[in-house]
């Protein structure tokens, strides 16, 4: 694609793909270390919470810093700090000094340092890619991110077959270095900033006001977080129950079904990257209706093959829930508040992922596996359809995929140079 032949976008695509590969590897490493150090499943849960709770608590604050300071430098700084921290963990492990409390502390600090990164990265896309190519740019990036994150955990076993866990951690640390180097190589004109930089409280207040002026953006973000909170636990807890109790399967089949859903998401992102989508807000909320329609019968599946087909369709539909959302936010929110809007979404995702398994477990325990999945699918259909009705009644405007149809209108945003052009 043309975007991949432009220097700036190619650097972002490659560097962040490597970074996400390291993220996927780190998730597997942290979980295995928690188990190997304690031989307790509860320890894995503690490390998982430690790796996600700071993201939920600090992402919006970190996003405010990304809006008030140079995003690229902030991202490079977080990459360097996280690389050093993971490298330190590798040294402690090699010396036999990495105990479980230290692992929990490192996971929490790593998440806290990285809190500004994702919203800053997503906001940077709006300056690397032209406005008319944002859907394509986000689609391609999601293909890279999802593929890399999916492959990351799969690398742990072959790596441990030829080397040791400390070396694996060093390799993970090097992925942060690759991200930092590629970010440093991106050349962009300096972004205009307000004459006086606001404080944190004022900046967050101004960002909220900017979101209120774009009701369609608020509706789409709220729909995403609500849908994820209510139903995403069924992809983890619910799928385990389905495979273990109804399909008579084992861990391998569970992993295979998760992998099929992940591959389908990658394919969906690739297809979306080749489309010129319009009415982004409606597409983003109605995608939940489509996802719910395939989720509804999943609990009735009597064979792994049927379950795999339904999961593939839900995975494909899930790509439609976030790529249009990101492009919508990038087009509608002024640059000086863009990271905060995306940070609100990222924080909502972290909170939803933490709560969703509890909700899914409660529903399955009280209603059963089949009814639980039907409740999950019906909930998604209701949430998506209700959001579409709210969008219609509010008269919210959808963005077209062309900047000429929908200018950003931010007097502080400089004219965007063609993607990849050097200043």
pLDDT, tens digit, 9 for 90 and up, residues 261-312: 888 988 999 999 888 888 999 999 999 999 999 999 999 988 888 999 999 9
| Same domain, yes or no: 271 and 395 | yes
**Res 413: pLDDT:** 35
Residue 179 in domain: yes
Residue 305 lies in a domain: yes
Residue ending a domain, among 135, 152, 187, is 187
Quickly state the pLDDT bin for 251 (edges 50, 70, 90): low
Q: What is the pTM of this model?
A: 0.81
Residue ending a domain, choose from 187, 215, 231 = 187
CB 231 within 8 A of CB 376: yes
Whether pLDDT at 325 is above 50: yes
Whether 385 and 270 share a structural domain: yes
Distance, in Å, from the CA atom of 252 to the CA atom of 172, rounded to the nearest integer, reads 26
> For 9-23, what is the mean pLDDT?
95
* Residues 35 and 146 placed together within one structural domain of the fold: yes
Q: At what angle do helices 215-231 and 304-332 cross, to 10 degrees?
A: 150
Q: pLDDT tens digit string along 357-368?
A: 888 888 988 999
Do 311 and 264 share a structural domain? Answer: yes
What are 401-418's pLDDT values in tens digits?
A: 444 334 443 333 333 333
Q: What is the pLDDT of residue 197?
A: 77
409 located within any domain:
no
Mean pLDDT of the chain: 87
* pLDDT number for residue 420: 34
Domain that holds residue 16: 7-187
Q: Is residue 2 part of a domain?
A: no
Residue 192 lies in a domain: no
In this structure, the answer to whether residues 111 and 31 fall within a common structural domain is yes
Asked whether residue 286 is domain-assigned, the answer is yes
| Of 203, 218, 197, nearest in space to 61 by CA | 203
Asked which of 187, 216, 233 is the last residue of a domain, the reply is 187
Q: Rounded CA gap, 404 and 237, in Å? A: 45
- Number of domains within the chain: 2
User: Same domain for 156 and 208?
Assistant: no
CA angle (328 as vertex; 417, 52 as ends), nearest 5? 105
Q: 393 and 361 in one domain?
A: yes
Whether residue 145 is found in the same domain as residue 218? no
| 193 in any annotated domain | no
pLDDT of residue 252: 64
234 & 368 share domain: yes
Mean pLDDT of the 239-253 span: 76
Is there a domain that residue 423 lies in? no
Residues 204 and 60 in one domain: no
Q: Residue 245 is part of a domain; what is its CATH number?
A: 1.20.1250.20
- How many whole angstroms separate alpha carbon 413 and alpha carbon 130? 13
Residues 235 and 175 in one domain: no
pLDDT digits 0-9 by tens, 87-134: 999 999 999 999 999 999 999 999 999 999 999 999 999 999 987 899
Q: Are residues 333 and 382 in the same domain?
A: yes
The per-residue pLDDT for 402 is: 40
């Amino acid at each position: 694609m043309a975007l991949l032949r432009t220097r700036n976008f190619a650097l972002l695509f490659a560097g962040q793909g490597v970074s996400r590969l390291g993220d996927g590897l780190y998730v597997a490493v942290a979980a295995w270390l928690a188990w190997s150090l304690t031989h307790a499943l509860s320890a894995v849960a503690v490390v998982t919470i430690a790796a996600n709770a700071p993201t939920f608590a600090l992402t919006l604050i970190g996003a405010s810093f990304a809006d008030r300071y140079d995003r690229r430098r902030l991202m490079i700084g977080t990459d360097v700090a996280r690389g050093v921290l993971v490298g330190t963990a590798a040294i402690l492990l090699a010396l036999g000094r990495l105990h479980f409390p230290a692992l929990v502390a490192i996971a929490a600090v790593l998440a806290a340092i990285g809190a500004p990164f994702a919203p800053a990265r997503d906001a940077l896309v709006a300056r690397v890619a032209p406005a008319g190519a944002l859907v394509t740019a986000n689609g391609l990036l999601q293909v890279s991110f999802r593929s890399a994150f999916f492959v990351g955990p799969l690398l742990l076993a072959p790596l441990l077959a030829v080397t040791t866990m400390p070396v694996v951690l060093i390799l993970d640390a090097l992925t942060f270095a690759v991200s930092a180097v590629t970010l440093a190589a991106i050349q962009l004109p300096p972004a205009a900033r307000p004459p006086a930089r606001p404080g944190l409280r004022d900046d967050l207040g101004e960002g909220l006001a900017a979101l209120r002026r774009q009701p369609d953006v608020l509706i789409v973000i709220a729909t995403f977080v609500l849908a994820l909170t209510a139903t995403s636990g069924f992809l983890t807890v619910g799928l385990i129950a389905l495979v273990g109790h109804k399909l008579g399967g084992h861990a391998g089949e569970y992993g295979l079904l998760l992998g099929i859903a992940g591959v389908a998401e990658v394919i969906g992102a690739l297809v979306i990257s080749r489309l010129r989508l319009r009415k982004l807000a409606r597409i983003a909320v109605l995608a939940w209706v489509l996802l719910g329609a395939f989720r509804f019968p999943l609990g009735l599946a009597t064979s792994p093959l049927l379950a795999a087909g339904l999961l593939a369709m839900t995975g494909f539909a899930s790509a439609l829930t976030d790529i249009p959302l990101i492009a919508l936010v990038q087009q509608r929110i002024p640059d000086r508040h863009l990271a905060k809007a995306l940070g609100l979404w990222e924080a909502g995702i972290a909170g939803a992922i933490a709560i969703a398994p509890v909700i899914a477990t409660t529903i399955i325990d009280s209603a059963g596996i089949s009814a639980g999945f039907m409740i999950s699918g019906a909930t998604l259909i209701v949430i998506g359809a209700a959001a579409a009705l709210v969008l219609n009644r509010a008269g919210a405007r959808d963005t077209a995929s062309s900047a000429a149809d929908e200018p950003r209108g931010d007097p502080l945003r400089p004219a965007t140079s063609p993607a990849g052009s050097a200043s």
